[in-house]
Amino acid sequence: MSGNANFAFDDIAIVAVSACEAPEVVTSEAMDERLSPFYQRTSAHAGILSALAGIEQRRAWPAGVSFMEAAALAGEKAIIDSGIDRSQIGLVIDTSVCRERLEPSSAVTVHNALGLPSTCMNYDLGNACLGFVNAIHLAGAMIETGQLDYVLVVDGEGTRQIHDNTISRLNEPGSTFDDLVENFASLTLGSGSAAALVGRHSQNPGSHQVVRGLFRAATEYHELCVGSLQSMKTDTAALLDAGTSLAKLAWDDANKDEWQDMDLYVLHQVSKVHTEAMIEVLGIDPARVPMTFPRFGNMGPAAVPFTLALSADQLSAGDRVLCLGIGSGLNAGLLELVW
């Protein structure tokens, strides 16, 4: 199974999954107001953000709150919810896309903030919006081989800087409608954080078993979405086509008949267009697809665990959940859970 990027676990579970909402609400109307100089000069008009993306608002952290602090907030919540003593955690992985520095890692700050022991390893794992799903897989592999007992995966994303930079750039004389199209994805991003504590299913009653999954890559599309805190330039139409095609490839390579009737499908939260396209290409029931992007925007790798955590009250013991993440590059990952 390892040769084709498929995997299965015997005794791995998510013991706790948490979401932390950034407190400041940033509506699409408020962003339209800030973009009024741009709208007055071009053929674009107010309302385009909510009309095209289906995003009515997104969140922001207060100025001065770092990405690592946001990640640690979610990590602390997951530790408390799990009931596990933090001395048992052998590794913390930070999967955040947003970074304030090249070194040291973001994980060292999270490790320190959470008061984790010196025996707890710590490092970052970056793979665009798929990083959190990758980290769950890595955590499961390390626990199942007996190297560790518990792994904490955290993610903290913030959008204040990229929003400010993008809006300022669009409002400059000379910017065109094409510039808005190229930078549109930047304005759909939202702030938030999430965390999951991974351990053995047999040792944690009430935990949520990680059954199996798979990963697929289409790296010929690595230039379709390139981002930094300064900007995120995206070929939106090409990225939509390539992303849905890769998701369909992964779906068809799996035993898709067993995934056709899951109780919940937690998809990466991008936009209305992307979600509807993914539902159509996979042929799944839209009523079983929770959507957080209309209120929180696209939170990158935090989106899947954040949506899973907010959907927990819809789930009962034994329910089957499929998580699907897609990251710029392109990479796709599917993760099957039993609640």
User: Minimal CA–CA distance to 78: which of 200, 198, 248, 201?
Assistant: 198
SS3 category, 276: helix
Q: Could you identify the residue written with the tokens 């990952």?
A: 333
Enclosing H/E stretch for 233: strand 232-234
Task: Give alpha helix (H) positions in the chain.
Answer: 28-34, 36-41, 48-53, 67-82, 106-113, 131-144, 160-170, 177-188, 236-253, 272-282, 293-296, 303-310
Contact 296, 306 (CB under 8 A): yes
Catalytic residue status for 33: no
Catalytic residue status for 129: yes
Contact 157, 192 (CB under 8 A): yes
Q: Could you identify the residue written with the tokens 């009737």?
A: 261
Angle of CA points 229, 231, 237, to nearest 5°: 130
Whether cis (ω within 30° of 0) applies to the bond prior to 301 is: no
Q: Which residues contact 177 (CB under 8 A, 6 or more apart)?
A: 42, 43, 44
Q: 331-338 and 320-327: which strand pairing?
A: antiparallel
Q: Which of 129, 225, 323, 336 is catalytic?
A: 129
Q: Which residues are catalytic?
A: 103, 129
